[in-house]
């Protein structure tokens, strides 16, 4: 699975912000094994279940040029067995124990997880530690799985105009940085991936000192440490390369990407801006400290039915059926601030673009009010207790944060960061980020000249770059 830097992080981190200046997120226990494996334990004793996740600090942005898709391809191949686990048996073993498992790849990390009853944690550790260094691949399985990934790309991207537009927009948004590559890879490069490519990538990046083990659920930290030492402790450190990535040049021109396709039934307007993340900032985009302000800004402008975009375009002008804004704070490098609007029948996307420009201009010219800032903070804090009840939520938030350069302290102090945001900080962040020269506008339009064709899968208003 490919997990993108869009929907997951926004929904997870933003909705998990706690109320109260001193509230904490998950109160994790952390320690590091002698081989460099970082371990995070989140206790949740509401039910006798446990989620184990292993996060590797490597994603599609770490691929070599010409080998796009290898991170995601290896994720698939990790289920092909080891010397002690036959091909295709990994998930069956988990299922026989009453659990489920899966994996996902993003630009900055690759993660594998199992959810089981708590007394089966040792089984999960045994299985996951085994494939950390003992993966076995043969040519036949590699060829079969490559065909699976090619079909996955055809069904989820090539047959989905919205996904094709999103892919083209990201390629235009990042001129030089490897975030411009699709996580699943370009089709012609996927077709050229082979067994040695996968083994080389595996040997280069899959090591305990490049991984984070997160265990959440009905567990005792001391017992988790005992099991981690037993199963992961004997694995030697690897010679993991530095994650040296190129940077973006100064952007001088806004870009427009238009996709016309007979499969499009519903037009759409999307706009993306390069933004700082919670880990990365620069003099042009603003410091990483502005990420909390951008979260609150996204909530004010397009965070739901009380947002500015919704009230203006959907309720007042009745020009749109849906309108949203989002910001993703979780990335090792650059992040993205985005807008998406769906027109009502008879309204052109060009008209919506003018209305969107008006709303952005209001933010830049008039700023935001203290009242709407506080309401946005309050909306972001709703549902915190339910998020803490979820075993997987803490594991996912902490794992993604640690895999992208943040710390457990960054996650735990997130409530204070949100509560401390001022109108002035929001306005300053908006002026830096919402500059047209750093934007890409995407128009998804029907092409009636070619007649009706079978449509691909529907896509959500907020794009998600995700592959299973």
More confident residue, 380 or 435: 435
Phi, psi values for residue 179, rounded to 5°? -60, -10
CB atoms under 10 Å from CB of 292, counted, come to 24
Give yes or no for residue 15 having a pLDDT over 50: no
Tell me the CB-side half-sphere exposure of residue 279, using CA atoms within 13 A.
Answer: 19
Convert the pLDDT of each residue in 246-292 to its tens digit: 999 999 999 999 999 999 999 999 999 999 999 999 888 887 789 99
Q: What is the mean pLDDT of residues 99-123?
A: 98
Determine the pLDDT at residue 460. Answer: 57
Give yes or no for residue 5 having a pLDDT over 80: no
- The strand ranges marked E within 374-460 are 439-446
Cα gap 5→2, rounded to integer Å: 10
Which of 43, 63, 75, 229 is the catalytic position? 75
Burial of 263 (0-12, 13-18, 19+ CB in 10 A): middle
Return the CATH number of 255-450, one of 3.30.830.10, 1.10.1510.10, 3.20.10.10, 1.10.260.40.
3.30.830.10
Give yes or no for residue 308 having a pLDDT over 60: yes
pLDDT band at 383 (very low <50, low <70, confident <90, very high): low
404 and 279 Cβ atoms separated by less than 8 Å: yes
Determine the pLDDT at residue 459. Answer: 52
Convert the pLDDT of each residue in 441-466 to its tens digit: 999 999 877 655 444 444 555 655 44
Q: In this prediction, what percent of the chain has a pLDDT beyond 90?
A: 82
Determine the pLDDT at residue 13. Answer: 44
Per-residue tokens: 83:
């010397």
Give the H/E segment covering residue 117. strand 110-117
Tokens 């030697």: give the residue.
236
More confident residue, 294 or 384: 294
Q: What is the mean pLDDT of residues 12-35?
A: 66
Determine the pLDDT at residue 389. Answer: 73
Pick from 207, 219, 206: which is nearest to 40 by CA?
A: 219
Burial of 321 (0-12, 13-18, 19+ CB in 10 A): middle
Q: What is the mean pLDDT of residues 151-161?
A: 97
Per-residue tokens: 149:
């990934």
Per-residue tokens: 238:
């690897």
Convert the pLDDT of each residue in 323-382 to its tens digit: 999 998 999 999 999 999 999 999 999 999 999 999 999 999 999 999 999 999 888 877
Domain ranges for the chain:
7-231, 255-450
Q: How many residues are there in the chain?
A: 468
Q: Edge-to-edge strand order for the sheet containing 255-261?
A: 255-261, 439-446, 268-275, 335-343, 320-328
Mean pLDDT of the chain: 91
Q: Domain spanning 7-231: which CATH class is it, in words? A: alpha beta
Convert the pLDDT of each residue in 52-81 to its tens digit: 999 999 999 999 999 999 999 999 999 999
264 and 445 Cβ atoms separated by less than 8 Å: yes
Phi, psi values for residue 467, rounded to 5°? -130, 135
Judged by average pLDDT, the poorest of 3-17, 102-116, 157-171, 348-362 is 3-17
Burial of 266 (0-12, 13-18, 19+ CB in 10 A): middle
Q: Is 409 a catalytic residue?
A: no
Same fold, 7-231 and 255-450: yes
């Amino acid at each position: 699975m490919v997990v993108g830097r869009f929907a997951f992080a926004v929904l997870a981190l933003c909705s998990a912000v706690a109320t109260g200046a001193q509230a904490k997120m998950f109160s994790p226990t952390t320690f590091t094994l002698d081989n460099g494996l970082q371990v995070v334990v989140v206790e949740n004793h509401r039910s006798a279940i446990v989620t184990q996740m292993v996060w590797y600090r490597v994603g599609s942005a770490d691929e070599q040029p010409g080998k796009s898709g290898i991170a995601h391809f290896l994720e698939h191949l990790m289920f092909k067995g080891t010397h002690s686990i036959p091909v295709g048996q990994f998930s069956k073993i988990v299922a026989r124990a009453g659990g489920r498992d899966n994996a996902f790849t993003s630009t900055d990390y690759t993660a594998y997880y199992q959810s089981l009853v708590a007394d089966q944690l040792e089984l999960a550790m045994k299985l996951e530690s085994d494939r950390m260094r003992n993966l076995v691949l043969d040519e036949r399985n590699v060829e079969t799985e490559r065909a699976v990934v090619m079909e996955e790309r055809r069904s989820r991207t090539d047959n989905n105009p919205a996904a094709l537009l999103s892919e083209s927009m990201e390629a235009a948004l990042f001129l030089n940085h490897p975030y411009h590559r699709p996580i699943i890879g370009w089709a012609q490069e996927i077709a050229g991936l082979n067994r040695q490519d996968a083994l080389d990538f595996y040997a280069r990046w899959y090591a305990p000192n490049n991984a984070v083990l997160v265990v959440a659920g009905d567990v005792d930290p001391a017992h988790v440490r005992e099991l981690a030492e037993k199963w992961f402790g004997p694995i030697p450190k690897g010679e993991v390369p530095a994650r040296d990535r190129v940077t973006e040049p100064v952007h001088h021109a806004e870009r427009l990407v238009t996709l016309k396709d007979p499969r499009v039934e519903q037009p759409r307007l999307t706009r993306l801006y390069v933004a700082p993340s919670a880990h990365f900032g620069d003099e042009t985009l603003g410091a990483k400290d502005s990420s909390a302000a951008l979260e609150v800004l996204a909530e004010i402008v397009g965070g739901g039915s009380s947002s500015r975009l919704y009230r203006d375009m959907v309720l007042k002008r009745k020009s749109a059926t849906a309108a949203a804004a989002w910001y993703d704070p979780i990335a090792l490098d650059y992040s993205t601030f985005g807008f998406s609007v769906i027109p009502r029948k008879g309204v052109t996307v060009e008209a919506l673009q003018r209305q969107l420009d008006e709303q952005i201009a209001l933010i830049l010219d008039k700023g935001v009010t203290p009242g709407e800032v506080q309401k946005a903070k309050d909306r972001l804090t709703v549902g915190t207790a339910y998020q803490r009840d979820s075993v997987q939520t803490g594991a996912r938030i902490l794992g993604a944060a640690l895999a992208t350069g943040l710390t457990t302290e960054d996650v735990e102090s997130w409530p204070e960061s949100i509560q401390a945001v001022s109108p002035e900080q929001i306005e300053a962040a908006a002026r830096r980020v919402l500059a047209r020269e750093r934007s890409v506008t995407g128009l998804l339009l029907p092409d009636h000249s070619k007649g009706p064709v079978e449509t691909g899968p529907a896509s959500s208003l907020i794009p998600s770059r995700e592959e299973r």
